[in-house]
Structure 1
Amino acid sequence: MIESWVINDDSPVVVSSETVLGALRSRIDSGQRETWLTSSSGRSLAFVTNTERAMVVLLEEEGDPGEHAVDPGAQGSSDGFVLSNGQDDEYSNEDTVPIHEAFRLVKQIVKTGSWPKDARWVVDR
């Protein structure tokens, strides 16, 4: 069964792999840098960006530490990851990916439910 995904704080309209990037870009343009999507099977997908890099986290259920995309060998850290509660986080660049890669990952997960075969990610469980 293919999952359907909705953006948590938007209307209950399902986003597809063809529409999810437009929705993310629109949210970023309006200052919303944190987006949570929920699937019809109860999984969650988090996307938090500073507009240059993004953290992408896939959770199997509530309370799951999940798994997140990584950029092995990336140096330093980046700040400006503003959460919906106003918290401004800084993350190691190894634990985030360039935004164009984050968009590719989100699109693939929404389309297939899985990371792309060539994606780099770690399990935090």
Structure 2
Amino acid sequence: MLVIESWVINDDNPVPVPSAVVLEALRSRIDRGLLETWLTSSSGRSLVFVTNTQRAMVMLLEEEGDSGEHAVDPGAQGSSDGFVLSDGQDDEYRDEDTVPVGEAFRLVKQIVDTGSWPSDARRVVDR
């Protein structure tokens, strides 16, 4: 029997967020100035989305304390700031370690839908 993970946004309603509406939820949070979103799966994994509205850091963590893996944009030049965390910290990341926000949305939707990165996703394992 195939069991599909369900995902919830940590600081929102504890009701699972289906992949069909996860992007709407992320956009709504961004519109409210919430640029950091943590989703937790029913199997205990975490999916992290932090954006400056142009680029995003997307990380998938297997368990608490895991260094995980994150999406990358090989060859991207420079860095971007404005990645404001929920505690008010304003981070700057190398563009190579983030992806354009449209790509980040695609990655998050796929992970919430299937539990896995898209086969063509570029990512680095940090473990």
TM-score where L is the length of structure 2:
0.98
| Letter in structure 1 aligned against 2:24 | G
Aligned counterpart, 2:69: 67
Aligned counterpart, 1:104: 106
Aligned counterpart, 1:89: 91
Aligned counterpart, 2:17: 15
Q: 1:13 Cα deviation (Å)?
A: 1.2
Secondary structure of the residue aligned to 1:62 is coil
The count of aligned residue pairs is: 125
Q: 1:63 Cα deviation (Å)?
A: 0.1
1:26 maps onto 2:28 in alignment = yes
Separation of aligned partners in 1, 2:15 and 2:53: 25
Secondary structure of the residue aligned to 1:32 is coil
Moved over 4 A (4+): none
Q: Which runs of 5+ in 1 are unaligned?
A: none
RMSD, aligned α-carbons = 0.3
Identity percentage over the alignment?
A: 82
Secondary structure of the residue aligned to 2:49 is strand
Aligned counterpart, 2:42: 40
Secondary structure of the residue aligned to 1:28 is helix
Q: 1:113 Cα deviation (Å)?
A: 0.3
Spell out, residue by residue over 1:68-107, the C-alpha distance to the aligned partner (whole angstroms, 9 max, x if none). Answer: 0000000000000000000000000000000000000000
Aligned counterpart, 1:77: 79
Separation of aligned partners in 1, 2:14 and 2:88: 24
Spell out, residue by residue over 1:52-74, the C-alpha distance to the aligned partner (whole angstroms, 9 max, x if none). Answer: 00000000000000000000000
Q: Which runs of 5+ in 2 are unaligned?
A: none
Separation of aligned partners in 2, 1:4 and 1:28: 22
Secondary structure of the residue aligned to 1:18 is helix
